[in-house]
Amino acid sequence: MVSLSVVQASNASIPTTLPSGLVAVFVGGTSGIGEYTLKEFARLSRQPRIYNVGRSQQASDRIAAECKKLNADVQYTFIQADVSLIRSVDAVCEQIRDKEKAINLLILSAGTLINGVKTKEGLHLSASLKHHSRARFILNLLPLLQAAPSIRRVISILSGTKEGSISLEDFQAWKAENVLKQRGHSSAIMTLLMLHFVQQAPTVSFIHDYPGFVKSGIARGTKGLLWGFMALSNLLGPFVQIPEKESGARHVFLATSERYKAKEGVEGAVPLGGGVGIARGNDGVEGSGVYSIDQVNESAVPAVEVLLEKLKEEGYIEKIWGIIEGDYERISKLPKE
């Protein structure tokens, strides 16, 4: 594991080693891990420009005020949107492209544990937030990430290191009953999507991480055993959950440390320290640009690397992108409201 003290020491050097005016887009930063990361990034960065995309204006107003207390020079912009809808994602990205020529960070954390709900665009709500929406943000904003002169990173906060088998027949997991299998399915899809995008943008670093148990609102609307499990974990929070500040710090470390370098090019990230080296990518090669990372900032175990290599050899990168691209095409032909 990467010790918290190493993480904190690296983050402490952000004001002196990274340029001012870094641009960060947070999707799902109005609560939970996204919020904790956003506020820690705001505190440590010089004159950051932050876009926070979410549903709650009230939560955003609170976060904006807290950011100003942490850093008077922060520029904070809230974009209200339902990011489970692909057309909403496109509208958000258009707003960002109108204002920025480059962005440094795209941090994706929107999600839900609700199953069995269909969006207006005909997608499984859970699958849309885990895959379709995140991939659309990456697709739309990748040119701006490539244009950044320093840090260029995508972080998907989901279930990295938990990759498992993929069911193409039930791609959106409508029929999934086993929570662990569903997690493995979704995790592998997200990692393979990143492997798709790194082929187009090797100067961008792609990080898929598992945050561990952290207090968040992801269980809102759930019922039955899952609701009970999440309620119990919140009740036992001090004993089982990663503290909010630690979660924010570890995700800022992912976003800024040279440990998670892009496959090609120079990012100008925070230099390594504390005895840690370049992380192993999910192909087993150090610094290969796509990383599956656990709750203590370590790479996936070799068994996960073997599984991902098998999925790549069997053409799953192309297969999952074909399915998602087909859904985008179908949605583009839906009548406009």
Q: What is the mean pLDDT of the chain?
A: 92
Per-residue model confidence (pLDDT) at position 218: 52
Q: In this structure, are residues 172 and 127 in contact, taking their beta carbons and an 8 Å threshold?
A: yes
pLDDT at 161: 97
CB atoms within 10 A of CB 5: 9
What percent of the chain has pLDDT above 70?
A: 93
Q: What is the pLDDT of residues 267-318, one digit of tens each?
A: 999 999 989 999 999 999 999 999 999 999 999 999 999 999 999 999 999 9
Q: Which long-range contacts (CB under 8 A, 24 or more apart) does 121-127 make?
A: 121/85, 121/86, 121/87, 121/331, 121/334, 122/330, 122/331, 122/334, 123/84, 123/86, 123/172, 123/327, 123/331, 124/172, 124/173, 124/174, 125/84, 126/172, 126/173, 127/171, 127/172, 127/173, 127/186
The pLDDT, as a whole number, for residue 276 is 94
Q: Identify the band that residue 227 occupies on the pLDDT scale cut at 50, 70 and 90.
A: very low
Top pLDDT among 113 and 228 is at 113
Instruction: Give the pLDDT of residue 201.
Output: 98
* Predicted TM-score of the model (pTM): 0.93
Q: What is the mean pLDDT of residues 171-183?
A: 85
pLDDT the model gives residue 179: 80
Selected residue with higher pLDDT from 112 and 18: 18
Q: How confident is the model at residue 106 (pLDDT cuts 50, 70, 90)?
A: very high
- With a cut of 70, say whether residue 173 has pLDDT above it: yes
pLDDT band, residue 178 (cuts 50/70/90): confident
* For residue 220, pLDDT beyond 60: no
Mean pLDDT, to the nearest integer, of 133-158? Answer: 97
Q: Tens of pLDDT along 145-154? A: 999 999 999 9
Q: Is 157 helix (H, G, I), strand (E, B) or coil?
A: strand
Residue 9 burial (C-beta neighbours within 10 Å; 0-12, 13-18, 19+): middle
Q: Which residue ranges form the domains of the chain, and what is each CATH number?
A: 4-218+244-329 (3.40.50.720)
Over residues 251-260, mean pLDDT = 98
231 or 244, greater pLDDT: 244
